[in-house]
Amino acid sequence: MTALKPRVADIRLAAEAGRDPAAIKIFAMATVVTGPTDARRGSQACGLSALRQSRGALTLMSGWTGVDLSTFRLDDEVRHVETDAGRTAMENITRADPSRVWTVREVAQHVGIGGIGPVFVGSGRTVADLMEAWIAETGVDGFNLAYVVAPESFEDVVEHVVPELQRRGRYKRAYAPGTLREKLGGAGPRLPSSHPASGFRSPRAHAQAAE
Amino acid sequence: MPNEILLNAFSMNAVGHQSPGLWRHPRDRSGEFNRLPFWTELARTLEAGLFDGLFLADVLGIYDVYGASPDAALRHGTQVPANDPSLLVPAMAAVTKNLGFGVTSNLSYENAFPFARRMSTLDHLSEGRIGWNVVTGYLDSAARAAGLNKQRAHDDRYAVAEEYMDVVYSLWEGSWDDDAAVRDVARGVFTDPDRVRPAVYRGRHFFARRGASFRALAPAHAGDLPGGHIAGRPGLRGPPRRMRVHVGTKRDGAEASRRRYPARRRGRS
């Protein structure tokens, strides 16, 4: 949450220059391990963790950050380095939360299930609680749900989490009509005139879009 | 009343995605990524659960930073092998009506025109359910695969990306009017040339000048591609540069178009 909240705020702030900040839909990556009860999923999560491959996790993290983590000892702290690879993963573990220091071993364990994102473990109710808490705290609109076991992870969300969110009035019961943009809350199928891309439209297309 | 929560599934056309090693789980079927039934069944499951979309990640390179070698990635199936995500979409669109599809495509190594045409094709075939995850890559191995020594410096990549977006927007927005394909049987006119103009873009990194046929056959309700990437990139801090860029580009582009293509502007029929 510490890493996410200021980024969401930055994006909404940037949008204020010409667009409706709420029209930008922000999905945070998260991984869900769910089932009928908390206890059952808790024990399964342990089983899943046993299948993690630390070297695979460090291979991912090295690629994302551009830093060869094989050159560190497992108990070494990861310190910020600027490279020409991605910047987000390194920011997340070194700067997003100044009170938290990550060792290479901790990075391997965390990234091993669900990458750099959070893992929500528990019954449908527990996961729904976590989702609502994350949204309230960070201002995201929803989640990109990664899997641990495919396609079972997604089937479990459909079976246990979706009905709980629907009971709470936090999830649709039918799709909205129209294009993906319209389903996500866009006013029409085309980009709005407030979007910079509309500047490429011909005068005639502008007139049509305004109709 | 709080808003409804949006859900995408996040996956990749590869064995394993964000949980390396879990391909060994007895019930994991991600190793079937190269077979269509895996994807069509997943699409149906997600649509039954009213998911907003399936978001497909991608990398063009191998994770070879760790140990300065691709061995660990290959051995552990760490996002390799990875196939093209966009080619999965038509099959999944055919078995669903509402599920959206977000496709990751790295703009650093592909000419904007064939890319824009491919996305438009997916837009048409999915009837407006496609989105693009705009990325510039982070792996030098992808640059080497494209015949370069290494990837561009981080901030340069984003500067190039800004222009690339202008080029694809000029192709998608500036070329064909929605009603250009008149399909007038009596007059024998399929497309009204007055409603088509070359997409002209001239920038520091790109020069584009194409008459692109993107809108012509789109279903009436198909729109532009929703897209974007949620990572906290530095380009998003401070005032958005795109606003200023686009105000200038619009005018310059229109004038350049008139200068270069006077005949086209008058039409031919």
A112 & A189 share domain = no
CA distance B52 to chain A (A): 8
**Range of lowest pLDDT (A131-140, B6-15, B162-171):** B162-171
B122 interaction partners in chain A (CB closer than 8 Å): none
Confidence grade of residue A188 (pLDDT, cut at 50, 70, 90)? confident
Q: Are the Cβ atoms of A66 and B78 closer than 8 angstroms? A: no
B3 assigned to some structural domain: no
**Does position A170 have pLDDT exceeding 50, yes or no?**
yes
Q: What is the structure's pLDDT at A191?
A: 85
**Does position A201 have pLDDT exceeding 70, yes or no?**
yes
Average pLDDT, chain A: 90
CA distance A171 to chain B (A): 5
A62 & A132 share domain = yes
B1 assigned to some structural domain: no
**Does position A146 have pLDDT exceeding 80, yes or no?**
yes
Q: Read off the pLDDT of each residue in A180-187 and give the average, rounded to a whole number.
A: 90
Confidence grade of residue B246 (pLDDT, cut at 50, 70, 90)? very low
State the first-to-last Cα distance of chain B, in angstroms, to the nearest integer.
56
CATH number for the domain harbouring residue A115: 3.20.20.30
Q: Are the Cβ atoms of B237 and A10 closer than 8 angstroms? A: yes
**Does position B216 have pLDDT exceeding 60, yes or no?**
no
**Nearest of B1, B8, B223, B47 to residue A175 by alpha carbon:** B47
In angstroms, the CA A144 to CA A134 distance is 13
**Does position B231 have pLDDT exceeding 80, yes or no?**
no
Confidence grade of residue B207 (pLDDT, cut at 50, 70, 90)? low
Beta strand pairing call for B53-57 and B100-106:
parallel
Q: Count up the domains in chain A and report the number.
A: 2
A114 & A187 share domain = no
Q: In the 8-state DSSP scheme, what is residue A161?
A: I
A126 & A182 share domain = no
The three-state (H, E, C) secondary structure of A102-137, written as one string: CEHHHHHHHHHCCCCCCEEEEEHHHHHHHHHHHHHH
Q: Which residues contact B37 (CB under 8 A, 6 or more apart)?
A: none
| B148 and A CB contact within 8 Å | no
A30 & A69 share domain = yes
Confidence grade of residue B237 (pLDDT, cut at 50, 70, 90)? very low
Average pLDDT, chain B: 79
| B87 and A CB contact within 8 Å | no
- As beta bridge partners, residue A121 has A33
A90 & A117 share domain = yes
B190 assigned to some structural domain: yes
Nearest CA in chain A to B169: A197
Confidence grade of residue A38 (pLDDT, cut at 50, 70, 90)? confident
A17 backbone φψ class: left, alpha, beta (φ>0; ψ -120 to 50): alpha
CATH number for the domain harbouring residue B43: 3.20.20.30
Tens digits of per-residue pLDDT, B67-123?
999 999 999 999 999 999 999 999 999 999 999 999 999 999 998 888 998 998 999
| Other C-beta atoms lying within 10 Å of the C-beta of residue B129 | 27
Q: Taking every pair of C-alpha atoms in chain A, what is the biggest distance, in angstroms?
A: 64
A38 & A119 share domain = yes
Q: What is the structure's pLDDT at B111?
A: 87
Q: In the 8-state DSSP scheme, what is residue B139?
A: -
CA distance A110 to chain B (A): 10
A66 backbone φψ class: left, alpha, beta (φ>0; ψ -120 to 50): left
A95 & A187 share domain = no
Nearest CA in chain A to B141: A63
Beta strand pairing call for B181-184 and B189-191:
antiparallel
Q: What is the structure's pLDDT at B251?
A: 30
Percentage with pLDDT > 70 across chain B: 76
Q: What is the structure's pLDDT at A208?
A: 66
Q: Are the Cβ atoms of B242 and A196 closer than 8 angstroms? A: yes
Q: Are the Cβ atoms of A131 and B239 closer than 8 angstroms? A: no
Tens digits of per-residue pLDDT, A77-124?
998 989 988 888 998 888 888 888 899 999 999 999 999 999 999 999
In angstroms, the CA B46 to CA A86 distance is 30
In angstroms, the CA B31 to CA B207 distance is 42
A192 interaction partners in chain B (CB closer than 8 Å): none
**Does position B40 have pLDDT exceeding 60, yes or no?**
yes
Give the three-state DSSP class for B10: strand
Task: Answer whether B54's CB lies under 8 Å from B43's CB.
Answer: yes
Confidence grade of residue B189 (pLDDT, cut at 50, 70, 90)? very high
Q: Are the Cβ atoms of B25 and A28 closer than 8 angstroms? A: no
Q: Read off the pLDDT of each residue in B189-208 and give the average, rounded to a whole number.
A: 79
Q: Read off the pLDDT of each residue in B35-64 and give the average, rounded to a whole number.
A: 97
**Does position A138 have pLDDT exceeding 90, yes or no?**
yes
Q: What is the structure's pLDDT at B263?
A: 35
Domain around B158: 8-266
Q: Length of chain B, please?
A: 269
Beta strand pairing call for A142-146 and A27-35:
parallel
Confidence grade of residue B134 (pLDDT, cut at 50, 70, 90)? very high
Q: What is the structure's pLDDT at B264?
A: 34
ipTM above 0.90, yes or no: yes
A110 & A209 share domain = no
Option in A86, A87, A142 nearest B6 (CB): A142
Q: Which residue has the higher pLDDT, B130 or B246?
A: B130
Q: Count up the domains in chain B and report the number.
A: 1
A80 & A150 share domain = yes
The three-state (H, E, C) secondary structure of A34-64, written as one string: EECCHHHHHHHHHHHHHCCCHHHHHHHHHHH
Percentage with pLDDT > 90 across chain A: 60
Q: Which two tokens stand for residue A148?
A: 């641990």
Q: At what angle do helices A124-138 and A4-15 cross, to 10 degrees?
A: 50
Q: What is the structure's pLDDT at B107?
A: 92
Confidence grade of residue A210 (pLDDT, cut at 50, 70, 90)? low
Q: Read off the pLDDT of each residue in A131-155 and give the average, rounded to a whole number.
A: 97
B268: exposed, middle or buried (C-beta count within 10 Å: 0-12, 13-18, 19+)?
Answer: exposed
In angstroms, the CA B247 to CA B224 distance is 19
Domain around A49: 4-176
**Does position A48 have pLDDT exceeding 70, yes or no?**
yes
Q: Read off the pLDDT of each residue in B256-266 and give the average, rounded to a whole number.
A: 34
A48 & A112 share domain = yes
A161 & A204 share domain = no
Q: What is the DSSP string of B60-120?
A: SS----GGGSSHHHHHHTSS-SB--SGGGHHHHHHT-SS-EEEEEEEGGGS-HHHHHHHHH
